[in-house]
Amino acid sequence: MNSHEIDYKIHGEEMQHIEIELDPNETAIAESGAFMMMDDGVQMETIFGDGTQQTGGIMGKLFSAGKRLLTGESLFMTAFTNVGQGKKRVHFASPYPGKIIAMNLSQLGGKMICQKDAFLCAAKGVSVGIEFQKRLGTGIFGGEGFIMQKLEGDGMAFVHAGGHVYERRLQPGEVLKIDTGCVVAYSQEIDFDIQFVGGIKNTIFGGEGLFFATLRGPGTVWIQSLPISRLASRIMSYGMFKRKEEGGILGGLGNLLDGDGMR
């Protein structure tokens, strides 16, 4: 294997974190800000890109880091290496309520495509790059943009999704229509496209967006029940508008009881 072989354990239910066990000289890479805690003897180092271009000269490092800018991520990642004796552990936390998905790339054809903000951490040797949508319409109307992340290699990679995660295996020719924001990741065999919902009532009054993501098998797709964009939208709308009951006596009493009246 080109990637480091790491062991792991996922803790929690809705607010999960992952524990990665490192043998001496093994390394895990993670997004900046994902770190939770680590044993003494684990060395933390900030690196350009994903660490796969560290011996390729300055241009290789810049190219690796530049790919991350296109997906909206930081130029830097963090590498955690066991420089001590015996097994050491490092923990990474999910950024919002949901599930952590473990993906063994060696069993998934060596490549996975995911949302640009889904990657959490991986074994050193896994390449975190960009995946351009092949169809112009997919890029313009896909909901997640023209550029997605691709994870390549033969090691373990971990992505995060909001809410509950549903894994669906599609048979050859089987088509699944999904809200564009609910697609977390899919295997490279999947044919991903965008379809217009259609119908004037659906377009104006549907409230579900104008486009579906259509995924054609064979392959596997991971679906999240609560995209972070949907959660953020609800929180913003709740903060911008008064609740319906706020004008009444009972509404005022309710606000006092739940703490709103104390501010």
What's the longest Cα–Cα distance across the chain? 69
Residues whose CB is less than 8 angstroms from the CB of residue 172 and which lie 6 or more positions away in sequence, other chains included: 217, 218
**Average pLDDT taken over every residue of the chain:** 79
Evaluated on CA atoms 52, 130, 31, 151, the torsion sign reads negative
Give residue 76's pLDDT band: very low, low, confident or very high (50, 70, 90): confident
102 conformational bin, left if phi > 0, alpha if psi -120 to 50, beta if neither: beta
Structural domains of the chain, with CATH: 7-242 (3.60.160.10)
d(CA 78, CA 68): 13
Neighbours of 188 (CB within 10 A): 14
Q: Pick from 2, 77, 82: which is nearest to 32 by CA?
A: 77
Give residue 71's pLDDT band: very low, low, confident or very high (50, 70, 90): low
Give residue 168's pLDDT band: very low, low, confident or very high (50, 70, 90): very high
Region 78-107 average pLDDT = 94
Q: Over the stretch 175-217, which tens digit does the pLDDT of each residue have?
A: 999 988 899 999 999 998 887 765 554 444 444 456 788 899 9
Q: Pick from 237, 263, 236: which is nearest to 255 by CA?
A: 263
Give residue 159's pLDDT band: very low, low, confident or very high (50, 70, 90): very high
